[in-house]
Amino acid sequence: MSFFNKVLASVGIGGTKVDTKLERDTLVPGETVRGIVEITGGSTEQTIDSIYLSLNTVYLKESNDKKYSVTTAIDRFKISDPFLIKPNEKKEIPFSFRLPLDTPVTIGRTKVWLSTGLDIKNAVDPTDTDYVRVLPNKGMSAILSAVEDLGFRLREADCEQASYRLKRRLPFVQEFEYVPVSGRFRGRLDELEVVMFPGEGGEIEVLMQVDRRARGLGGFLSEALSMDESNVRLLVTQSDLPAVRDKIMAVIERYS
């Protein structure tokens, strides 16, 4: 290798390419993600310090009464130790990891993607981006379906900065915002916000904000003082799923 080629490699012009191929791109939190990373050497020999996969999403953060989007890593996985890639050489690195339970589902404007990167010392690191579809698990699906069965329509689903009270491992929570369009809660509620935290045992901690519709002078006063909202916490286990609609309805009834 000539000195000129060494210089080209050190500034990232060696041309090493990376491409990630997933076994499936539709997933459920808690499932195992499998795939391979294909690395193709460029015009020069290069040392790859590591290959990493980063699972990412975007959430809304508020500052000075303005909202802006922030990209954050849900998790990061190292899948290789240092190795040498020769010119035009092809390598395949298999990988598997568990999709974190707190990965947001890709409903509404929420997007989740996997970015693959090679750490190459003193070089511009090549990366690859792959979007994935994340579906709610069985318990989450049952909860969201129950809310819709009660006459609510999903208005939007967003990842937003978590308040101190709601913060867990990640700096955001995924909020599902519903409006009542039919049934017993139409005219009684303005909206219903739902946040879910799946647990390792299949249980789901559900937080609901029941926003009551203002009624009369006293109602408007309550609304102005932000007294029209009730924050409710309940735990839904696997054994609760057959009757989860009734459980949620009872809670909303109590606070609406």
How confident is the model over 106-134, as pLDDT tens digits?
Answer: 998 899 999 988 887 655 556 778 899 99
The token pair that represents 28 in the structure block: 């459920």
Residue 77: which of 123, 31, 115 has the closest Cα?
115
pLDDT of 232: 86
Q: pLDDT for 60-82, tens place per residue? A: 988 877 888 999 999 999 999 89
The token pair that represents 6 in the structure block: 């060494």
Looking at this protein, which amino acid is placed at residue 177?
E
Q: Is pLDDT of 221 > 60? A: no
> Hunting for tokens 């203002």 — which residue is that?
214
Pairing of strands 112-119, 46-48: unpaired
> Hunting for tokens 């899948």 — which residue is that?
79
Looking at this protein, which amino acid is placed at residue 209?
Q
Contact status, residue 235 vs residue 205, Cβ threshold 8 Å: yes
pLDDT of 185: 87
Q: What's the DSSP call for residue 236?
A: E
pLDDT higher at 17 or 14: 17
Contact status, residue 154 vs residue 108, Cβ threshold 8 Å: yes
Q: pLDDT for 125-182, tens place per residue? A: 567 788 999 999 999 999 999 999 999 999 999 999 988 788 889 999 999 999 999 9
> Hunting for tokens 């990965």 — which residue is that?
103
Q: Is pLDDT of 214 > 70? A: no
Considering the entire predicted model, what is its pTM? 0.82
pLDDT of 229: 58
Please give the full DSSP string across 90-127, using - where no structure is assigned: EEEEEEEEEPPTTPPP--TT--EEEEEEEE-TTS---E
Residue 174: which of 108, 99, 130, 238 has the closest Cα?
108
pLDDT of 177: 94
Query: Burial level of 211, CB count in 10 A (0-12/13-18/19+)?
Result: buried
Q: Which residues contact 153 (CB under 8 A, 6 or more apart)?
A: 178, 179, 180, 181
Q: Which helix (H) or strand (E) holds 79?
A: none
